[in-house]
């Protein structure tokens, strides 16, 4: 177990030199939050102009309106948010160009994926990265999820590094400078296997935008929108990635918390999937999420909004879990596994054996060796273990939260961690 880490300045951040410098630099930037400005920047970046269907424009405009109208955001964070939107618009141009030139991409089969579904902080990342150690799966590293298609005519770096990987590594290095404790909460290394939800970004869809900035208007619009076409878009990008890699067909290993509230759409999109549900004390999840969000707000807002963060994410987690409880039975036992956090951390092989059995993949000696090597190299807490305090930092009563989430813990017998 690594060092125990505590954040004692959530409400009144004591900024380090890197944070002060980054915020000062952000104040010098001019950011235009309009769909037209975003699209023009993407065209200049890629040299392309065809975005395909323009049905994404209302969604892009909604994000620009909500984020652009938030006058409290720091200049640095406004620049970061604009960068996300430009990258997504650029990716859309590149995807459209590639599929237009290679229509055979649409015929790529996505077969028998293993999809990890669970709240953040429930072991989803650990499990998907562990399964990805088996090279019989396709998996999605962070750098490739950020830029699925290379920029045209951009050469490899002199040392053979893909420039997309380099950009992702530089971004992570910058994040560690301004939020140095982030690695202990949620590492973003370029090779880290990431969520396929990122591939909905070019369609300007998904709940992912809520993680970048509290966005209640976006959340409400998302709740009211059928996500089927956006899952289809994500599957299309998976086909493109699979085509780029060539070689024999392999199943994908995927993961995303959003699937908890989109199970009918997920099953419609991937009808032959094996689904692994991860479960953990929701109060432990909440304290981790809102502490991480509050910590990163020191470079996003002049003063962290602790009470607003708590209200927003408690409601958000409740929505995810209500849908999970109501729709879990849609996934038959023959192709699903329930993975409990404490048991998985203590005895990972029980879960692995169940997953491989349900997905009809052999857990042979070679695979066991690869998975063992991964487990040995990625022991929990090696980057430090965060210490959380809901009562001190957020004035929240864990017992009251447990009562609120009894609908979930009555259905799934998780070990209560926060008392």
Residue 414 forms part of a structural domain: no
Residue 364 forms part of a structural domain: yes
pLDDT-based confidence at residue 102 (cuts at 50, 70, 90): very high
- Regarding pTM above 0.75, the answer is yes
Q: Of 31, 140, 22, whose CA–CA distance to 86 is shortest?
A: 31
Q: What is the pLDDT of residues 172-231, one digit of tens each?
A: 999 999 999 988 888 899 999 999 999 999 999 999 999 999 999 999 999 999 999 999
Residue 51 forms part of a structural domain: no
pLDDT-based confidence at residue 383 (cuts at 50, 70, 90): low
pLDDT-based confidence at residue 381 (cuts at 50, 70, 90): low
Residue 365 has pLDDT above 60, yes or no: yes
State the number of CA atoms in the 13 A half-sphere of 150 facing the CB: 13
Residue 237 forms part of a structural domain: yes
Residue 107 has pLDDT above 60, yes or no: yes
Residue 415 forms part of a structural domain: no
pLDDT-based confidence at residue 380 (cuts at 50, 70, 90): confident
Residue 46 forms part of a structural domain: no
pLDDT of 377: 93
pLDDT of 186: 86
CATH number of the domain encompassing residue 357: 3.40.50.300
**Average confidence (pLDDT) over 255-260:** 97
pLDDT of 183: 82
> What's the total number of domains in the chain?
1
Residue 353 forms part of a structural domain: yes
**Average confidence (pLDDT) over 48-54:** 98
Q: What is the pLDDT of residues 338-364, one digit of tens each?
A: 999 999 999 999 999 999 999 999 999
Residue 192 forms part of a structural domain: yes
pLDDT of 350: 96
Task: Return d(Cα 174, Cα 161) in angstroms, integer.
Answer: 19
pLDDT of 272: 97
**Average confidence (pLDDT) over 82-88:** 98
Residue 330 has pLDDT above 70, yes or no: yes
pLDDT-based confidence at residue 2 (cuts at 50, 70, 90): low
- Residues shown for the chain: 419
Q: Of 154, 140, 184, whose CA–CA distance to 46 is shortest?
A: 154
**Average confidence (pLDDT) over 100-119:** 97
Mean pLDDT of the chain: 96
Q: Please state, in angstroms and as integers, the Cα–Cα distance from residue 2 to each residue in 378, 385, 386, following that order.
A: 12, 6, 10
pLDDT of 208: 96
pLDDT of 184: 83
pLDDT of 185: 86
Q: Please state, in angstroms and as integers, the Cα–Cα distance from residue 192 to each residue in 133, 161, 184, 354, 408, following that order.
A: 11, 16, 14, 24, 30
Judged by DSSP in three states, 223 sits in: helix
pLDDT-based confidence at residue 248 (cuts at 50, 70, 90): confident
Residue 136 has pLDDT above 70, yes or no: yes
User: What residues make up the domain containing 348?
Assistant: 4-14+111-409
């Amino acid at each position: 177990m690594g060092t125990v880490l505590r954040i004692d300045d959530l409400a009144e951040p004591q900024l380090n030199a890197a944070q002060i410098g980054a915020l000062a630099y952000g104040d010098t930037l001019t950011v235009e939050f309009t769909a037209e400005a975003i699209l023009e920047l993407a065209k200049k970046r890629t040299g392309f102009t065809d975005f395909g269907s323009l049905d994404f424009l209302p969604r892009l405009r909604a994000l620009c309106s909500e984020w652009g109208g938030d006058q409290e955001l720091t200049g640095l964070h406004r620049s970061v948010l604009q960068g996300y939107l430009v990258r997504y618009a650029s990716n859309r141009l590149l995807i459209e160009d590639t599929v237009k030139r290679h229509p055979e991409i649409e015929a790529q089969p996505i077969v028998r994926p293993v999809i990890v579904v669970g709240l953040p902080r429930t072991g989803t990342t650990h499990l998907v990265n562990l399964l990805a150690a088996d090279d019989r799966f396709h998996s999605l590293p962070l750098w490739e999820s950020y830029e699925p298609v290379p920029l045209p005519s951009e050469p490899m770096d002199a040392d053979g590094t893909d420039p997309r990987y380099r950009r992702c590594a530089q971004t992570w290095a910058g994040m560690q400078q301004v939020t140095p404790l982030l690695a202990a909460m949620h590492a973003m290394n370029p090779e880290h296997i990431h969520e396929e939800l990122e591939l909905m970004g070019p369609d300007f869809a998904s709940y992912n935008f809520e993680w970048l900035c509290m966005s209640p208007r976006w959340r409400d619009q998302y709740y009211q929108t059928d996500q089927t076409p956006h899952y289809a878009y994500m599957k299309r990008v998976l086909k493109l990635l699979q085509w780029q890699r060539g070689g024999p067909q392999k199943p994908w290993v995927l993961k995303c918390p959003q699937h908890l509230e989109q199970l009918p759409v997920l099953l419609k999109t991937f009808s032959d999937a094996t689904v692994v549900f991860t479960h953990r004390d929701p109060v432990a999840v909440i304290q981790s999420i809102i502490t991480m969000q509050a910590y990163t707000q020191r470079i996003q807002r002049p003063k962290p909004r602790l009470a607003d963060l708590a209200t927003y994410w408690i409601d958000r987690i409740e929505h995810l879990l209500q849908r999970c409880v109501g729709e879990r039975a849609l996934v038959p036992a023959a192709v699903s596994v329930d993975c409990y956090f404490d048991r998985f951390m203590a005895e990972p092989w029980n879960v692995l054996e169940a997953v491989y059995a349900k997905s009809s993949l052999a857990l042979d000696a070679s695979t066991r060796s690869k998975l063992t090597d991964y487990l040995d190299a990625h022991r929990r807490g090696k980057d430090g273990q965060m210490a959380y305090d809901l009562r001190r930092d957020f004035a929240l009563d864990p017992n009251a939260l447990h009562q609120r989430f009894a609908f979930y813990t009555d259905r799934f017998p998780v070990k209560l961690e926060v008392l």
